[in-house]
A and B are shown apart, each in its own frame.
Chain A
Amino acid sequence: MAERSFQKEVQTLRLGAGEVFEGEGILAVTKALLQSGVAYVGGYPGAPISHLMDVFTEADGLLQELGVKFEANASEAGAAAMLSASVNYPLRGAVAWKSVVGTNVASDALSNIASAGVLGGALVIVGEDYGEGSSIVQERTQAFAMKSQMWLLDPRTNLTTIVDAVENGFRLSEASRTPVMLQLRIRACHMTGRFVARDNTRPKLTTADAAGDPQRDTSRIVLPPALFTHELEKVRDRWPAALEFIASSRLNEHFGPGEGRVGLIVQGGLFNALNRALELEGLSDCQGASALPILCLNVTYPLVPDELVAFCSNKRSVLIIEEGQPEFTEHELNTILNRHGLTTRVCGKDFLPRAGEYTTQVIRSGLRGFLDKWHPELGITAPASQAAPDPALASTVPPRPPGFCTGCPERPVFTAMKLLERELGPSHVSADIGCHLFSTLAPFNIGTTTSGYGLGTASAAAFSSGSRRPIAVMGDGGFWHNGLTSGIGNAVFNKDDTVTVVIDNGYAAATGGQDNLSSKAILADRATGKSIEKAARGVGVDWAHTIERTYDVGRMKDIIRAALTGAEKGPKLIVAQSECMLNKQRRESPRLAAAAKAGKRTVRDRFGVDPDTCTGDHSCIRISGCPSLTIKPNPDPLREDPVAHVNHECVGCGLCGEASHAAVLCPSFYRARIVTNPHRLERWLVSLRQFLVARIQAWARARRALRAY
């Protein structure tokens, strides 16, 4: 079950011609695919396109009606490989993933398909996770587009433009026999907007039809001598065809006057920010009526030399607004102008920062610097150095890093590792991609490196014959994505003496809680419930244990200790299994609430801290970090340090109690088991008990009153 349900939104995918679609960018893209007659879709989830995968999943019914094949691919490499369906058949296909990391994983297949070329339109929708809030390496997808020669669309962030880009992407792909990447920035994916819909179209040829009539063409196989021909085809046929299509379809747009002393060239995805920067300088309005000529590149690769030459002619200088580095476009523009003998000065990273997100603020500063130098007649001056933010404020406001959710079953694994670290000393810990990577932050501070999804075990390989066994952490998502082969299989083959802890919460939780092979959910269209331990044993791991309740910190600690200190050599696997609490609560809370409302007996646990026995040392927090385990001012007039406090978000996972037992912490924690609608006998017994207890308490109170102040 995914984090967000799109049941309601999926209905908008059925809109017909002329109706107005209103909704999120990611949903608009899905609608555009259906309007374009796509024959197959796939991908791998990850922000910001996780929801696209969720929408595909929930729209599976509609996809089947239209004869569209949907595959929840095992990895981006798998998704990219699926595009080979468009190599020999006129099938339109689209796959989606998070970039740049997903593109890294997919690059093997992408290189090969780009080399062979495609017959049907092949579209890769890359959710560009760059800039604020990003969780991945900051690199440009454009490098992949360029090296493999795939075209890169970066449409203006406006739903109509984005929807058109999908359709045009397929056409461009078919016209130039080249796969096309459609880049969507994170905010564009989640932007709300509207466009006028068209009817959904059934694919002319379905994948089922194609499978029934197999076609073969050896010239499309990446083997010598065809592969040399492919390279030639790329530059001789496909490239010119693409330029011709882009120019004739006017995929790039012009704003403002045709002529001017200076011009602005902007990536489509940054156009809105540029326009706002111009507005703030009084040089444009909300309709994009710019006072300066703008060339908006909705296609950022390839560049159309004629378009650029025409735009740059008779201008003193142009400013290219290109986010990220290296500044490929700026370099190529210089080459193009040089070859055409133009002396127009190309500016870019000399006025704009080389690294980091191009916010409106950043573009505005760069623009002012550029205009000050190259168009002083406008009277706009370069900005003075940024006013320093209030230092008192900056030093007061604490950072708010991401962390494990309330009741997360992964937390106790790291509590156990933290306690064990105190006992055995620190081990080298290779972390992995997933929620569990939060272990590297406070309060656990466990984990040394992270080198890719499912690569935790592989990353520990170099340390596998040292005096102290390294620990690798991997999620269930990472295990199935890549970890089983590159990590576990590799460790078995090389007889690596490593310990792998697979944190199996039943979902690809970090990407939004999608199901995977080992998920517990029983699904009609997918096979789930496959055992991670069995899979590992299948590739040859002999020492493997599954812990079915990670909250048992004592047990968790014992098993990791055994793996670290046991005499047996070779790879060891611990599967720490407990369901993702977010997903569990989403399912269980409404069910419990309904049962309680219906008068059924329900039991709910909650934890608490007694403020009068808590001494405010916060050891408990340093081995937990649960959001619901927090602090509050000490009610005791003598004590100064805040006491620990469990707030009402507590889901009663039990870690607080287990940790205070395992770490011999403090007797302040209590578990309150709250029984709603108790049985009559139960109620009667409790009142009898309470009667007796109340007597003793009253007596004790009276005695205390005698010696009170």
Chain B
Amino acid sequence: MLTQWIARLGSQNGYRAQATSVPGVAQRTGATVYYVEMMPWAASEPEPILSLMPTAGDVDVVLASELMEAGRAMIRNLVSADRTTLISSTHRIYAISEKIARGNGIANGDTVMSAAQQRAKRFIRFDMAETSHRAGCAISAVMFGALAGSGALPFPRAAYIEAIRSEGKASAANLAGFEAGFRESQDLGGAHASAPQDPMTPTTEAGRALTTRILAELPSSTFRMAVEGVRRLLDYQDYAYASLYLDRLVELHGVDSERGGWRLTREAARYLALWMAYDDTIRVADLKIRDTRMKRVRNEVGAGNGQLVNVTEFMHPRFREFCDTLPRRMGGRLLHSRWAKRLLGRFFAKGRFIETTGLIGFAVLAFLASLRRWRPSTLRYAEEQARILAWLKLVKTAARDNPDAAVEIIQCQRLIKGYGDTYANGLAAFDRIITAYVGMKDEPDVAPRIRGLREAALGSG
């Protein structure tokens, strides 16, 4: 659509415009280059010889509908400092390689931004996806508006609107998108202030008590993370559990050193909280039925006022999770009993659809959530606490011999995430690294080696 508009813009204003593209499989998410050439021309003159592909150093405007597309245009040398106006959206459509990483595979957008600033004659950028979403139009309309606003082509604004009209696409949304794109291309400020973080102000007696402890017993560089940890565990369980978290953290702080900027304590504040707030059935049920969640869902799916939204969860509780939620002894015995597995197993063979917006579904989840107060007596609780204690013990020993290795071991908690098989695989990877550590702990490069193993496990393999 954008290509047609640009070609139309030229041909309606005394130019001979030629557009080409390479569609095909590329249009199914692959990268595609659309190319337009135009030059002043009157119908009485012979046809000019126009090129069908862009050439390095010979391009006036590059329009990129996504940030990495701008990067690709630069890699292809289509952007030159003496000539090219680069107009790019700053939003990201993540590539598959970024999405499949077990950890964080997102490419660094700043590299592209700074390269664009150096390599383009002018670099106009803003989040065009956001703008088009607000205008309710396709991103092309916003890009066309940005092209008009850039003034890179010798045509007045009205000519652009006329081009949209004559292609028969002058819907209110497209015109609004064009206007918004035009406006935003004039504003080079770009950076919007990031959202303010949650304040460190406690709202309850429990919160205040824990904050006092944090301020008194921990170094200042760990405050924010420790407050987040406490906030999480209060929400997850209760005051006693959050206090246990602080006890454990303070103990680690005891083996940490100021020389490293209390790095071990800071990292532990994060990873200890995450492990202690392990995701069990009770937690999931609790989060699913909250009013804030229902609001978020409505918002996310873009439901309007008159529309009803029915929400169905896809849950697959297994026999294992059932036992996990039982009191420790009973759960343990059941889990290892063959007849119980045979008798009850079939109830857990299939995935369940739970309609949270329905009364029954809601009641089931509300019941599960209400098991929170019995959580400390469950099998899963006992198992997780044992694992946590073993991990902390290892870290404390390591901290004395090799503080860097201790930090690396703390960070290995990042591998333990997910549910079901994913959780089991993560835990297995964690165990493998811990075993490897025990085997090589006296070697000088143990810290970087653990990091290497962890990063490999978080890759996309």
A binding-site residues for B, Cβ under 8 Å: 22, 47-48, 129, 132-135, 157-158, 160, 185-188, 190-194, 271-273, 275-277, 280, 286-288, 359-361, 364, 387, 389-390, 392-394, 396-405, 435, 438, 441-443, 510, 606, 608, 610, 612-613, 615-619, 621-622, 625, 627, 629-631, 633, 637-642, 648, 656-658, 660-667, 669-678, 682-683, 686, 689, 692-694, 696-698, 700-701, 704-709
Contact = CB atoms under 8 A, between A and B. Distances in A.
Interface string B425-461: 0100000000000000000000000000000001010
Contacts of A271: 49
B279 A615 contact: yes
A707 B204 contact: yes
B358 to A, nearest CB: 7
Contact of B55 (A360, A389, A622): A360
A708 B24 CA distance: 55
Contact of A676 (B33, B229, B307): B307
A251 B234 CA distance: 84
Contacts of A188: 20, 52
Given A190-B23, A390-B74, A675-B307, A287 B111 contact: no
A650 B422 CA distance: 24
A252 to B, nearest CB: 17
B258 interface: no
Interface string B258-285: 0000000000001001100001000110
A400 B30 contact: yes
B97 A442 contact: yes
B292 to A, nearest CB: 8
B26 A133 contact: yes
Given A133-B32, A637-B197, A510 B419 contact: no
Interface in B202-254: 202-204, 206-207, 210, 225, 227-232, 234-235, 238-239
Interface string B47-79: 111111101111000000000100110110100
Contact of A608 (B48, B55, B301, B420): B301
A671 B312 contact: yes
B417 A617 contact: yes
Contact of A396 (B112, B288, B312): B112
Nearest to A277: B55
Contact of A47 (B25, B108, B202, B273): B25
Contact of A402 (B28, B74, B101, B235): B28
Contacts of A399: 95, 97
A394 B39 CA distance: 33
Given A392-B111, A697-B289, A706-B204, A276 B55 contact: yes
Contacts of A185: 52
A664 B18 contact: no
Nearest to B119: A390
A709 B205 CA distance: 8
B366 interface: yes
Given A187-B22, A397-B68, A670-B314, A361 B55 contact: yes
A403 B93 CA distance: 14
Nearest to B316: A664
Contacts of A613: 279, 283-284, 287-288
A621 B96 CA distance: 9
Contacts of B235: 704, 707-709
A674 B316 contact: no
Interface string B91-114: 001111111111110111001100
Given A191-B18, A396-B107, A672-B311, 17 more contacts: A47-B25, A133-B22, A187-B21, A187-B22, A187-B53, A403-B28, A627-B29, A630-B93, A631-B99, A637-B197, A640-B414, A675-B307, A692-B359, A693-B357, A697-B291, A707-B238, A709-B203
- Report which residue of A188, A674, A692, A705 has the largest number of chain B beta carbons within 10 angstroms of its beta carbon: A674
A706 B97 CA distance: 44
Contacts of B7: 192
B30 A402 contact: yes
Contact of A638 (B29, B232, B294): B232
Interface of B: 7, 11, 17-26, 28-33, 39, 46-53, 55-58, 68, 71-72, 74-75, 77, 93-104, 106-108, 111-112, 115, 133, 197-198, 202-204, 206-207, 210, 225, 227-232, 234-235, 238-239, 270, 273-274, 279, 283-284, 287-291, 293-294, 296-297, 300-303, 306-316, 318, 350-351, 356-359, 362, 366, 369, 414, 417-422, 426, 458, 460
B20 A638 contact: no
A275 to B, nearest CB: 5
A398 B270 CA distance: 30
A192 B228 contact: no
A124 to B, nearest CB: 20
A694 B366 CA distance: 12
A416 to B, nearest CB: 14
A465 B102 CA distance: 38
B20 A158 contact: no
Nearest to B43: A20
B15 to A, nearest CB: 12
B20 A707 contact: no
Nearest to A657: B314
B216 to A, nearest CB: 17
A641 B75 contact: no
Given A47-B24, A158-B47, A631-B99, A708 B229 contact: no
A582 to B, nearest CB: 9
A465 to B, nearest CB: 33
B304 to A, nearest CB: 8
A111 B83 CA distance: 52
Contacts of B350: 661
A132 B350 CA distance: 47
A662 B350 CA distance: 8
Contacts of B204: 705-709
B290 to A, nearest CB: 7
B297 to A, nearest CB: 6
6 contacts: A277-B55, A625-B100, A660-B314, A675-B310, A701-B290, A709-B235
B312 A625 contact: no
B289 A670 contact: no
**9 closest cross-chain pairs (CB), A and B:** A661-B351, A47-B24, A133-B22, A615-B417, A397-B71, A398-B95, A709-B231, A402-B30, A664-B420
Given A275-B49, A403-B28, A630 B94 contact: yes
Contacts of B284: 613, 667
A638 B68 CA distance: 28
Contact of A689 (B50, B239, B358, B460): B358
B106 A631 contact: yes
Contacts of A629: 99
A132 B21 CA distance: 11
Given A280-B55, A510-B25, A613-B284, A674 B203 contact: no
B55 A47 contact: no
B206 A664 contact: no
A709 B75 contact: no
Contacts of A157: 52
A510 to B, nearest CB: 7
Residue with the greatest number of chain A CB neighbours at <10 A, chosen from B11, B229, B422: B422
